[in-house]
Structure 1
Amino acid sequence: MNIFVLGTGRCGTTTFMQACKHVSNFSTAHESRANLIGERRLCYPKNHIEVDNRLSWLLGRLDEAYGKNAFYVHLMRNEDSVAKSYLKRWENRSSIVFGYRSSIILGLDKSAEPLDVVRDMCQTVNANITQFLKDKPHKAIVRLESINEDFGAFWNAAKLEGNRASALAEWDIQHNSSERRDTLGRRRFGGVTRVAKIPRKLARIGKGLPGFIKRA
């Protein structure tokens, strides 16, 4: 049986994949076939966990290919939190939210607040998944706000094997977080700006330079 993890995105999908890396009786991947079309798009190996929020836009085809013979997870997070996270990608042309506001919603009302538009997308995706799962016998709802309890219930329901403790520990690690910026708008990585890293890099280069010259 295959397992598909559906959601809006910005709801813990990367961490979910990392957690499932500790499962021994299923393979796991994240958006592994997102660049394919046709039959190849949904041609996953057996006993595989696929975490891909883009599948939420392919539910009809997913139903045709796997129907009731798969296990589905609706991964959820507070919609307001998801919307605020997506809002940081408002102008990113490769993001789903940009496609939603520029192509799915035609002639977007200029007075619409960006946060309301992103909330609308999240509500649409979650509603579509909820309807899709109505007749599915094998399913679980996993909420980020109650992740330990819900992920544990999913582990049992899907009859997963492996290191459960290590899987749960992954939820204490921040994966694929939105970039933070300092007061000057510079990108921060792990709380340190790129500008702040320059002296450290120059120092490392200076230490290694004599040895390099000697070996040359």
Structure 2
Amino acid sequence: MNVFVLNTGRCGSTTFVRACRYISNYSAGHESNIHCVGVERLAYPSCHIEVDNRLSWLLGRLDREYGDRAYYVHLRRDRESTARSFEKRTNFGIMKAYREGILLGGLEQHSPYVTALDYIDTVENNIALFLKDKTNKMSFRLEHVDTDFPRFWRNIGAEGDLEAALLEWKTSHNASV
């Protein structure tokens, strides 16, 4: 079974994949196929955990390829904290792409914080709509990692070193706020 961790970014996704590397019966990757197009973009090995916030823009294709045969995690963090983190990254990455490609320069009319909130709401709603008919899914809150990660571990039948994986969450990776 494949596992997809859907998220906005700036919500613990880098730490999530680092913790998953303590799972011995799954491979784990972070944005593994971001430079691929066509069928290669969603071509992951079986028993693989993929953490990639850009998958929220490919949900139709993800549904066609994996449908209800995969396990989906909706990784979330407090909305305001996520927006404050994105606010510091307004001129690169997904925020630049959203502002310039989707909003066509929306920064002139709105602050980086307001733009980040709009991005978060858009992605969160896309993910919620995608997951509404999926049977193999869970909501994962960064604020509840001590209970949510062990539940995730059990749900996918993970094997390996859960204690070491939980310790990984004690370190902030790729942090800006």
Please give the TM-score of this superposition, normalised by the length of structure 2: 0.96
Report the CA distance between 1:25 and its aligned residue.
Answer: 0.8
Give the match for residue 84 of structure 1: 84
Kindly report structure 1 stretches of 4+ aligned residues shifted beyond 4 Å: none
Give the match for residue 161 of structure 1: 159
Give the match for residue 5 of structure 1: 5
Give the match for residue 115 of structure 2: 117
Give the match for residue 18 of structure 1: 18
Change beyond 3 A, Cα 1:159–1:68: same
Higher deviation after alignment, 154-163 or 37-46: 154-163
Distance in 2 between residues matched to 1:107 and 1:171, nearest whole Å: 36
Structure 2, unmatched stretches of 5+, are none
Give the match for residue 211 of structure 1: none
SS in 2 for 1:172: coil
Map residues 36-185 of structure 1 onto 2, 5 A cutoff: 36-92=36-92, 95-106=93-104, 108=106, 110-178=108-176
String of CA shifts for 1:148-182, please: whole Å, max 9, x gaps. Answer: 1111111111111111111111100111112x9xx
Give the match for residue 29 of structure 2: 29
Report the CA distance between 1:30 and its aligned residue.
Answer: 0.8
Distance in 2 between residues matched to 1:62 and 1:69, nearest whole Å: 11
SS in 1 for 2:3: strand
> What is the identity percentage for the equivalent residue pairs of Structure 1 and Structure 2?
50
SS in 1 for 2:149: helix
Aligned length: 177
Q: Say what the alpha-carbon RMSD is for the aligned residues.
A: 1.3
Higher relative contact order (CA 8 A, sep 6+): 2
Structure 1, unmatched stretches of 5+, are 181-216
String of CA shifts for 1:133-158, please: whole Å, max 9, x gaps. Answer: 01111011110111111111111111
Distance in 1 between residues matched to 2:36 and 2:107, nearest whole Å: 33
